[in-house]
């Protein structure tokens, strides 16, 4: 029986039950935020135009854009203070700064890619550019003559050899510093940090003096790959050490508790767990080495023909090709240089995507070969169990 005191509670309960449920929206952008940003953008633009064109003796596009951005942040803070509490205003302002910095970075990258593509499209649009070298091409030859084939081969071979040398050495050094440690780890870490800031010209001079002049090895793609190895190895080592240190210590303790040795723990537990981060370390090292010009200039020489043997003869790379032709006073040569820069960016993109695909498996996830082996073992066990059951049934 419902009393008079229970009527308000019952009424409120019935009203709440009858009202439709509203979904809470987490994140996103509200209309108030859009209106605030739009008003701040237009207001700051109008005030900036008035200051530049009517009141103050300022000029220049860079200054105009910088003042517009600062006024925009000021307007965002002022308009937000009218609507929200101080903590929310600060949070919104930091979000605006972060988003605008990201958009500025994207605009700069797009501008660079677009500028290179426009300057080099005249040469890159011809099919001969990717299939010919510059052996039979002179300064006044038509754009349909000559290409970048020899530089592509040289860059791929030199980068491949440098990666083959730098990655095992860098990961081994990172494992030594993070897993083994001891007194010897500190000087190794100091040396790696010093090599990280090493100018690329010093690496080229080192290989030139030690390998070419002292040991008598001729300038070649192999010598250039050694110089690139000197540049790539500290990057790989430092990034790999940070990633290996992020592996939880409980995984190591569990491996040791099962009776595994330190070598087995590192090989089967630590490195597989850190594989996505190690791939990132390799990508960073490749990014450092693929665009180097001065080490290659001192150690590989220059040639206009295809040389697929990195151990004999001069071998040119894409950065060296670009540096040699972009400074010439001939429009077609400059166009070839910008087209080569476009090809270099495409090769770097392909290499990085391939590296991410090969190493993008989640930590602890099984590979296809491991899954197939587990499935075969399970099928074999099931067959043995069925055969045993059939024999027992026949015996009964």
Instruction: Note down the domain range covering 304.
Output: 149-364
- Same domain for 158 and 256, yes or no, is yes
- Same domain for 188 and 324, yes or no, is yes
Reading the chain (396 residues) residue by residue, the pLDDT tens digits are 445 444 455 555 545 455 566 665 555 677 888 888 888 889 999 988 888 877 877 778 888 888 889 999 999 989 888 888 888 888 888 989 999 999 999 999 999 999 999 999 988 888 888 888 888 888 888 888 888 999 999 999 999 999 999 999 999 999 998 888 778 888 888 888 888 888 888 888 999 999 898 888 888 899 999 999 999 999 999 989 988 988 888 888 888 888 888 888 888 888 888 888 888 888 888 888 888 888 898 899 888 888 889 898 899 999 999 999 998 888 889 999 999 999 998 888 887 787 777 665 555 555 677 778 888 888 888 888 888 888 888 877
What integer pLDDT is reported at residue 340 of this predicted model?
92
- Same domain for 355 and 237, yes or no, is yes
Using CA atoms, how far apart are residues 178 and 186, in angstroms rounded to an integer?
11
- Same domain for 248 and 307, yes or no, is yes
Using CA atoms, how far apart are residues 304 and 389, in angstroms rounded to an integer?
74
Supply 376's token pair.
């075969």
Give the residue among 278, 282, 260 at the shortest CA–CA distance from 269: 260
What integer pLDDT is reported at residue 98 of this predicted model?
92
In a domain, 17, yes or no: no
In a domain, 316, yes or no: yes
- Same domain for 115 and 154, yes or no, is no
- Same domain for 192 and 271, yes or no, is yes
For residue 267, the SS3 value is helix
């Amino acid at each position: 029986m419902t009393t008079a005191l229970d009527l308000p509670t019952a009424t409120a309960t019935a009203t709440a039950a009858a009202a439709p449920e509203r979904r809470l929206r987490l994140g996103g952008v509200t209309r108030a935020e859009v209106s605030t940003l739009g008003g701040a953008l237009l207001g700051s633009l109008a005030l900036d135009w008035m200051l530049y064109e009517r009141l103050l003796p300022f000029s220049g596009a860079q200054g105009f854009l910088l003042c517009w951005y600062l006024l925009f942040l000021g307007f965002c803070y002022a308009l937000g203070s009218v609507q929200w509490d101080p903590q929310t205003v600060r949070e919104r302002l930091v979000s605006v700064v972060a988003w605008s910095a990201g958009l500025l970075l994207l605009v700069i990258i797009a501008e660079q890619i677009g500028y290179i593509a426009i300057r080099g499209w005249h040469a890159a649009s011809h099919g001969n550019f990717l299939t010919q070298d510059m052996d039979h091409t002179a300064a006044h030859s038509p754009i349909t003559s000559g290409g970048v084939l020899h530089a592509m081969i040289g860059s791929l071979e030199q980068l491949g050899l440098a990666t083959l040398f730098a990655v095992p050495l860098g990961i081994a050094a990172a494992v030594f510093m993070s897993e083994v440690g001891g007194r010897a780890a500190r000087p190794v870490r100091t040396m790696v940090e010093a090599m990280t800031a090493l100018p690329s010209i010093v690496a080229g001079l080192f290989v030139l003096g030690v390998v070419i002049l002292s040991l008598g090895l001729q300038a070649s793609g192999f010598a250039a790959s050694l110089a690139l190895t000197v540049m790539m190895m500290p990057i790989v080592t430092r990034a790999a050490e940070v990633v290996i240190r992020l592996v939880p210590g409980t995984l190591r303790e569990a491996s040791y508790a099962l009776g595994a040795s330190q070598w087995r723990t590192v090989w089967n537990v630590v490195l597989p767990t850190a594989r996505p981060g190690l791939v990132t370390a390799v990508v960073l090292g490749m990014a450092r080495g693929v665009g180097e010009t001065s080490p290659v200039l001192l150690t590989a020489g220059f040639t206009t023909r295809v040389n697929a043997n990195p151990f004999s003869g001069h071998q040119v790379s894409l950065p060296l090709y670009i540096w040699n032709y972009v400074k010439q006073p001939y429009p077609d040569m400059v166009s070839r240089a910008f087209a080569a820069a476009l090809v270099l960016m495409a090769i770097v993109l392909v290499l990085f995507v391939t590296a991410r695909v090969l190493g993008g498996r989640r930590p602890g996830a099984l590979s296809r070969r491991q899954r197939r082996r587990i499935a075969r073992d399970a099928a074999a066990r099931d067959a043995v169990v069925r055969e045993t059951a059939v024999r027992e049934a026949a015996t009964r």
